[in-house]
């Protein structure tokens, strides 16, 4: 069932993103007087199509992993002399730049609209209150205390743990001082803590900023009650069911969910004896956690079970909501911040500050799409916005075969006054295909490693 939900979720997500991206190209091309021959969502043989009054074919193809807009172009076939003025290659360089750039810009616009809708509807976040501080950690040395609320990171205000993590990830590679501002419960007085870091989060896969600082977020007590088991994973094979309360593991009492997680992670591949309570009856089950490999060669146990949710105290919840006009500015700011963060992440990956193992392919995207869809509309829309930004950034990279590569050629043409030679473009195409192909293989490889 989870697999079907993941597949459906990723088809919906990619379908929306591709449609908006290609519609950006299509809409601007029409405005620039270029004849569009086909607007296709998906690749391969069309399973549905129709023509409009302009002669454009709108098609839905069998492979839902992309799309394209095919325009009239002398470089791709014969063009009737009466239609030469509608050919893409006959348009000015600035018109071609506008048409190519419209696709990524449409993705940024989609993200802005998604964030606007979230801000208008209101989002409920968790107040970033410190639960525990690990002894001898950077946070401990800087004087952070339990029950303090984090209000700013590097001088930039934060209102939730999501924002805290984003600000911390944004300074990957930092050497020196990381400033965290806090305030005590019931107080308005701010305290600034200066944490000394070196090669901040460099090489971590995935980055774990809070754990690296030694900060454990405050959480309500989580009893070891299972909400859901993943089909085919060890918890399912052992016979665990939703509603089961785990009482002990190998005779050791389990106080709460984190304690259960710690015991499971510590014994990959070892058969454990679980005592569980189900409908008032005690049962004993044998459970063998599956080994999940880490980057350092070690492994941890994984069983494929989710904890039952608990209610958060009202004082630790915060609703972020804006009026329709104010939400426009907030959405634009969030879109800009996420775009700059994504560009910076690409830069840091190129220079080695971020491990390439953080690349995600279709398997990871499908899993996250399914998880966010099950978590609710708010999570799903937020993921859609982030993925739309990622697609826009990816397409703007100056790699031939991507929109960014075409824009690079056209900007060179605008400066030089003449087009880049066909020979140079052909060589660039081969290089671009090799780069993109390599990235796709790497992303799929890391997807499979996460899956295993």
Count the Cβ atoms, other than its own, within 10 Å of residue 252.
Answer: 10
Q: What pLDDT score does 296 carry?
A: 59
Peptide bond just before 167 cis, omega within 30 deg: no
Contact of 448 with 357, CB cutoff 8 Å: no
CATH architecture of the domain with range 226-308: Roll (2.30)
CATH fold for domain 130-217: Pdz3 Domain (2.30.42)
- pTM listed for this prediction: 0.80
Task: Report the interhelical angle of 2-31 vs 362-375 (nearest 10°).
Answer: 100
Please report, for the chain, the start and end positions of each structural domain, with discontinuous segments joined by +.
104-122+323-452, 130-217, 226-308
**Cα separations in angstroms, 15 against 110, 381, 437:** 13, 14, 22
Bridge pairing between strands 252-253 and 57-71: unpaired
- Asked if the domains at 130-217 and 226-308 fall in one CATH topology, the answer is yes
Q: Which of 22, 198, 279, 413 is catalytic?
A: 22
**Triad 165, 166, 168: Cα angle to 5°:** 65
Q: Tell me the C-alpha distance between 353 and 214, whole Å.
A: 21
Which residues are CB-contacts of 156 (< 8 A; sequence separation ≥ 6)? 167
Q: Tell me the per-residue pLDDT of 341-359, one tens digit each, with 9 for 90 and over.
A: 899 988 888 888 887 777 7
Q: What pLDDT score does 76 carry?
A: 84
Among candidates 228, 219, 375, 223, which has minimal Cα distance to 306? 228
Q: What pLDDT score does 97 carry?
A: 96
Residues of the chain with pLDDT under 70: 1-3, 294-297, 451-452
Q: What pLDDT score does 326 carry?
A: 95
Bridge pairing between strands 156-157 and 130-133: unpaired
Q: Tell me the C-alpha distance between 96 and 142, whole Å.
A: 54
Q: What pLDDT score does 396 carry?
A: 95
Q: What pLDDT score does 140 carry?
A: 92
Residues 354-359: contacts with CB within 8 Å, 24+ apart? Answer: 354/172, 354/202, 354/203, 354/207, 355/203, 355/204, 355/205, 355/295, 356/442, 356/446, 357/205, 357/295, 357/446, 357/449, 358/205, 358/206, 358/207, 358/446, 359/439, 359/442, 359/443, 359/446
Q: Tell me the per-residue pLDDT of 356-387, one tens digit each, with 9 for 90 and over.
A: 777 777 777 777 777 777 777 888 899 899 99
Asked if 22 is an active-site residue, the reply is yes
250-252-256-262 Cα dihedral, nearest 10 degrees: -70
**Burial zone of 5 (CB within 10 Å; 0-12 exposed, 13-18 middle, 19+ buried):** middle
């Amino acid at each position: 069932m989870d697999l079907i939900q993941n597949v459906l979720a990723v088809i919906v997500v990619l379908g929306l993103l591709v449609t908006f991206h290609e519609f950006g190209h299509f809409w601007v091309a029409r405005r620039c007087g270029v004849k569009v021959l086909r607007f296709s969502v998906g690749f391969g043989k069309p399973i549905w199509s129709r023509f409009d009054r302009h002669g454009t074919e709108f098609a839905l193809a069998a492979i839902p992993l992309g799309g394209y807009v095919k325009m009239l172009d002398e470089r791709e076939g014969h063009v009737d002399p009466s239609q030469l003025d509608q050919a893409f290659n006959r348009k000015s360089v600035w018109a071609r730049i506008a048409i190519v750039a419209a696709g990524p810009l449409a993705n940024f616009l989609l993200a802005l609209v998604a964030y606007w809708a979230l801000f208008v509807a209101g989002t409920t976040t968790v107040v970033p209150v410190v639960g525990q501080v690990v002894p001898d950690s950077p946070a401990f040395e800087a004087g952070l205390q339990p029950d303090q609320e984090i209000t700013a990171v590097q001088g930039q205000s934060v209102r939730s743990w999501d924002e805290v993590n984003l600000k911390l990830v944004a300074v990957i590679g930092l050497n020196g001082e990381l400033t965290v501002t806090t305030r005590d419960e019931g107080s308005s007085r701010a305290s600034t803590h200066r944490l000394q870091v070196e090669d901040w989060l460099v090489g971590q896969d995935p980055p774990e900023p809070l754990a690296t600082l030694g900060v454990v977020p405050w959480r309500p007590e989580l009893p070891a009650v299972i909400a859901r088991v993943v089909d085919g994973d060890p918890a399912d094979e052992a016979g665990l069911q939703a509603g089961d309360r785990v009482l002990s593991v190998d005779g050791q009492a389990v106080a709460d969910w984190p304690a259960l997680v710690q015991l499971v992670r510590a014994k990959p591949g070892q058969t454990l004896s679980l005592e569980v309570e189900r409908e008032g009856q005690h049962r004993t089950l044998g459970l063998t956690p599956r080994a999940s490999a880490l980057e350092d060669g070690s492994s941890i146990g994984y069983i494929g079970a989710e904890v039952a949710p608990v209610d958060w105290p009202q004082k630790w919840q915060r609703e972020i909501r804006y009026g329709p006009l104010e939400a426009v500015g907030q959405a634009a700011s969030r879109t800009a911040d996420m775009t700059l963060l994504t560009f910076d992440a690409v830069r840091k990956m190129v220079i080695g500050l971020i491990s390439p193992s953080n690349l995600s392919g279709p398997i990871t995207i499908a899993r996250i799409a399914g998880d966010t869809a099950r978590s609710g509309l708010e999570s799903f829309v937020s993921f859609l916005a982030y993925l739309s930004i990622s697609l826009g950034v990816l397409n703007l990279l100056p790699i031939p075969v991507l929109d960014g590569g075409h824009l690079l050629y056209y900007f060179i043409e605008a400066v030089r006054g003449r087009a880049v030679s066909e020979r140079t473009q052909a060589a660039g195409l081969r290089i671009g295909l090799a780069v993109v192909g390599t990235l796709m293989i790497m992303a799929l490889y890391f997807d499979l490693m996460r899956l295993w």
